[in-house]
Structure 1
Amino acid sequence: MSIKTRTKFILWTRSGSRCAISDCRCKLYEKAIGDDPDVLLGEMAHIVGQGDDGPRRDKPIPGGDIDGYDNLILLCTKHHTIVDRQLQKYSVDRLIQIKVDHERWVDASLTYGDRFKNLHEPCETTTETVASTLLAVERMPRVVYSAPCTSKETTVARNMGRAPIPGMMLPFIIRAKRLYTFFDLSRDDSPFDEFVDLNSVEEEDAFESWWPDPDRIRWYSDLLNRSLNKLTGRHGLMLDRKHKRYYFPPEDIDQERKVVYFTMTGRKSTLSVAREPITKKTGQGKGFWEHLAVALRFERVGASSWCLSIRPERRFTTDGSKPLSPKRTTKKATSRKSRMYNVDVHKEVHFWRDFLSDGNPRIIFDFGSQSIVVPTDLIQPSIEWPGVFDDLPKVEAIEYEDDLFSASAYSQILDYGKVELKDDE
């Protein structure tokens, strides 16, 4: 591996472009003169050296990453040589303390401008598009149907009829002995007819009476969450109720699970989503399973505007099923997230939008006479800022196009039109 550009930039910035040895602290940059080039006098030294014969190689690596920020210190050429030769004087602990003391000196002594002086030429502000983890919702259910119901939710769930049309979702909740759903309970083919009186069905405008009410909006959110349960269940995901996230189970007992999807560049690829990590040296399993997971949530962002939030996560188990202990889970989750930068999160968000939409331009929740429609284009706001020197280029994400089947499904949803309340007729 090599030191990442971002890590280099942080190290040079926090060190103020000066040697970290307190008796030196010489400037580590000489600006170009005439036809002569710029000269960098600083060297990024490893506290625990690279290679089997590197200095202090028998000691634990600070931060765990040989090329990570915690294992690097900025020195002049002279002191880099001295530090790597005088191992008794410059131990791991002493170098870490030297680095900490030097960065404190930089914070106290150098202005923000001094730290960047001569490091690179100032640039004008630039406008960039920022990737988000949000999908804008195009359509939400406007009507909530309800009717008296004396049965328990578990009873209704076990004994209710089939959906009138394959693919239709039937999320429901029972609150205060009334069953609430986005499905039109007055239909003759209602799968709830055994539990509610079709002649006692009421309709309420969610925008007018549910969204402004703090109790009703929670009920509405419950219906939305159960819709997400239907969507993820159809894609083979399991629900981790304690942490409110969905995850991939193994393909079978002790069998790794893989998913085929399209990357952000439109290339077909395979991703391992549930597996037992293997130790490279021995080829043996590490004694735990890692599952790709996601937290999904509908967020109300305006009077009538909603978004679907996608937050990539991980789930760890002992055998593909039983959760790992909280202590071990925390350590592994922290380790994974410490290695995930913005581009890595963006790639996982893309994976989830591709997987949940089956590679189509939108995710559709069909409730019969109304629906939720979520286009798979991520919200991408623009910002104006100075930018980051030598930043990584932006990775363009693919845009999905309709095929015959997705276009037909969307056309059918549009044909539902606006659901009119009976009271308004």
Structure 2
Amino acid sequence: MGRDISKKDTKLLCLKSGGICAFPNCRKSLIQEETDKDNPVITGEIAHIVAYEPGGPRGDATFPKQELNKHTNLILLCGDHHKLIDSQPNTYSIRVLQAMKQDHEATMRSLHQPENAEPPVAVIKESLHSSLLAVSYLPAVVFAASSEYNDRQKHEVRERIKYPSDRWELTPFLLREGHLFAFHDLQEEENPFRSVISNRDIQIIPAQELWSSAEGKRRYQALLNYALIKYTTGLNLQYDPAHRRYFFPAAKNKDERTVIYRPLNQNQSKRKVAWPQKQKATGKNKNLWIHLATSLRFHEVAPLRWCLSIRPERHFTSDGCTPLPPKQIGRRSTRLKARMYNHPYLSEVHFWRDYLSRGKPQIILNFRNQSVVIDTTQLLTFEIEWPGIAEDTKPFNNQVCNHDLFSYSELMQAIEGEDRDCQDTDEDGEEELDDE
């Protein structure tokens, strides 16, 4: 294919660009008016967004050749800015130039809207309530010790762990490259893993050192997520590894299950969390159970800033125990979520926040001398301007949960253990969880 750009693509590019340089805030006209002695001069230059040659600025050998000289891959610039973008291809990347072209052409279109065009959509200011909870404390270090066990022997390690008497003391671990990684202090003589590790080679790895590499961060997150499995088991939840979500199983004898929690407008209430669908005509149970479920994941949302995300979901079974086949799930799940606007969705997030924290202002994942502390006093919020949704007008009250004497004492114990571990050094779940 030759380098020549078709007349049609040239016309389309120039018309869409309005004869003005597309570089932000340049607005230089690309036509030099005629004089008494000379004709008008076109000073604009056509630049490729994805370079024509693979070795050129922003070259991409995988880009379709037939699209290289299309107006969609071209941007109209003055000479100075053409030279600038080709001299600094890392700054003015393909995505940057595509956005530059799109914004400029949209501005040109807006200048030529007919007088009877529809007015711009009104925007509103409101608070966006996220489904994120701030993590206020994390383990400062990870301990690693030599072990003769490998990743395929997790179950053998679980059988040999000396589980703490405190059911809320969690024992997540990873087995990698002949080492066991844990949040517990493996130097302690009575640590839970003493029967499966060597005491001769114990490493203390600062958390921030692990976070500096992708693999290290994956291992740290995996330890956090393993801890969630055991913690939620103590709350009578089950983990579904195929979909990475936690759900309420049916009550004993496959009866409908309810739990007590604190809703937004009451001190206490009951809620169905696992129940069978019934036939309207006979009142008999269908071969379909609905279980409240949620996805829980730890995320580093900014340097040294971590959050726990709560994403309400549904789990479906045929009899309170046996999962439905995947083909029977999608349609039902989509129908339920399609009717869930902002307030009902956030109300479910609040339900999980209250249930997971056991009605306290924090969730504490305890590893004896270190802890994770998740602040549940309120959901993180952000101020936004947007058109809004006409049918979704019910405001959400981001209820704040305050400390009492007992919750404050529990928080202080967790923090003191964390501080003590930092000064000294500077029953994993039954289901499988992928490292992520």
The TM-score, its normalising length taken from structure 1, stands at 0.68
Instruction: Tell me if the contact between 2:360 and 2:403 (Cα under 8 Å) persists in the aligned partners.
Output: yes
Shift of 1:114: 5.5
Matched residue, 2:107: none
Matched residue, 2:320: 320
AA aligned opposite 1:343: H
Cα distance in 1 between the residues matched to 2:415 and 2:222: 25
Matched residue, 1:231: 231
Match of 1:133 among 126, 131, 134: 131
AA aligned opposite 2:289: W
Cα distance in 2 between the residues matched to 1:386 and 1:319: 43
Shift of 1:282: 2.2
**Secondary structure at the counterpart of residue 410 of structure 1:** helix
AA aligned opposite 2:192: P
Distance 1:202-1:286 versus aligned 2 partners, 3 A rule:
same
**Secondary structure at the counterpart of residue 239 of structure 2:** strand
Counting only pairs closer than 5 Å after superposition, residues 273-352 of structure 1 correspond to structure 2 as: 273-352=273-352
**Secondary structure at the counterpart of residue 129 of structure 2:** coil
Cα distance in 2 between the residues matched to 1:336 and 1:160: 42
5+ residue gaps, structure 2, are 1-112, 427-436
Indicate yes or no: 2:185 matched with 1:187.
Answer: no
Distance 1:289-1:164 versus aligned 2 partners, 3 A rule:
closer
Distance 1:423-1:290 versus aligned 2 partners, 3 A rule:
closer
Shift of 1:421: 7.2
Shift of 1:393: 3.6
Matched residue, 2:95: none
Instruction: Tell me if the contact between 2:362 and 2:374 (Cα under 8 Å) persists in the aligned partners.
Output: yes
Cα distance in 1 between the residues matched to 2:304 and 2:241: 29
Once the two structures are superposed, what CA deviation does each residue of 1:325-375 show, in whole Å capped at 9, x if it has no partner? 211111211111111111111111000000000010010111111111101
AA aligned opposite 2:251: E
Distance 1:142-1:417 versus aligned 2 partners, 3 A rule:
closer
Matched residue, 1:221: 221
Once the two structures are superposed, what CA deviation does each residue of 1:223-244 show, in whole Å capped at 9, x if it has no partner? 0110110111111111111111
Once the two structures are superposed, what CA deviation does each residue of 1:163-215 show, in whole Å capped at 9, x if it has no partner? 264521111111111000001011122121111123422100110x2101111
Once the two structures are superposed, what CA deviation does each residue of 1:248-307 show, in whole Å capped at 9, x if it has no partner? 110113201101111122342211111101123321222111111100000111111111
Matched residue, 1:378: 379
Instruction: Tell me if the contact between 1:148 and 1:178 (Cα under 8 Å) persists in the aligned partners.
Output: yes
Instruction: Tell me if the contact between 2:371 and 2:418 (Cα under 8 Å) persists in the aligned partners.
Output: no
Instruction: Tell me if the contact between 1:134 and 1:307 (Cα under 8 Å) persists in the aligned partners.
Output: yes
Matched residue, 2:199: 198
Instruction: Tell me if the contact between 2:168 and 2:234 (Cα under 8 Å) persists in the aligned partners.
Output: no
RMSD, aligned α-carbons: 2.4
Counting only pairs closer than 5 Å after superposition, residues 44-123 of structure 1 correspond to structure 2 as: none
Cα distance in 1 between the residues matched to 2:217 and 2:418: 24
**Secondary structure at the counterpart of residue 416 of structure 1:** helix
Instruction: Tell me if the contact between 1:143 and 1:204 (Cα under 8 Å) persists in the aligned partners.
Output: yes
Instruction: Tell me if the contact between 1:265 and 1:396 (Cα under 8 Å) persists in the aligned partners.
Output: no
AA aligned opposite 1:235: L
AA aligned opposite 1:327: K
Cα distance in 2 between the residues matched to 1:231 and 1:113: 61
Distance 1:163-1:148 versus aligned 2 partners, 3 A rule:
same
Cα distance in 2 between the residues matched to 1:363 and 1:113: 56
Matched residue, 2:398: 397
Instruction: Tell me if the contact between 2:131 and 2:346 (Cα under 8 Å) persists in the aligned partners.
Output: yes
Instruction: Tell me if the contact between 1:136 and 1:307 (Cα under 8 Å) persists in the aligned partners.
Output: yes
Shift of 1:385: 4.1
| Higher alpha-carbon deviation: 354-363 or 328-337 | 328-337
Indicate yes or no: 2:242 matched with 1:245.
Answer: no
Match of 2:145 among 130, 147, 150: 147
Shift of 1:387: 5.2
Distance 1:212-1:412 versus aligned 2 partners, 3 A rule:
same
Cα distance in 2 between the residues matched to 1:387 and 1:163: 51
Cα distance in 2 between the residues matched to 1:278 and 1:359: 32
AA aligned opposite 1:146: A
Runs of 4+ in 1 over 6 A off after TM superposition: 110-113
Distance 1:339-1:111 versus aligned 2 partners, 3 A rule:
farther
Cα distance in 1 between the residues matched to 2:116 and 2:316: 45
Matched residue, 2:91: none
Shift of 1:320: 1.1
Matched residue, 1:168: 169
Cα distance in 1 between the residues matched to 2:391 and 2:143: 56
**Secondary structure at the counterpart of residue 315 of structure 1:** strand
Shift of 1:156: 1.3
Shift of 1:394: 1.1
Matched residue, 1:356: 356
Distance 1:385-1:317 versus aligned 2 partners, 3 A rule:
closer
**Secondary structure at the counterpart of residue 293 of structure 1:** strand
How many residues of Structure 1 are paired with residues of Structure 2 in the alignment?
Answer: 309
Matched residue, 1:420: 422
Matched residue, 2:256: 256
Cα distance in 2 between the residues matched to 1:395 and 1:143: 38
Cα distance in 2 between the residues matched to 1:308 and 1:112: 49
Once the two structures are superposed, what CA deviation does each residue of 1:88-130 show, in whole Å capped at 9, x if it has no partner? xxxxxxxxxxxxxxxxxxxxxx98985679xxxx97x643111
Cα distance in 2 between the residues matched to 1:409 and 1:325: 43
Distance 1:196-1:395 versus aligned 2 partners, 3 A rule:
same
Instruction: Tell me if the contact between 2:160 and 2:196 (Cα under 8 Å) persists in the aligned partners.
Output: no
AA aligned opposite 2:143: Y
The TM-score, its normalising length taken from structure 2, stands at 0.66
5+ residue gaps, structure 1, are 1-109
Cα distance in 1 between the residues matched to 2:320 and 2:363: 29
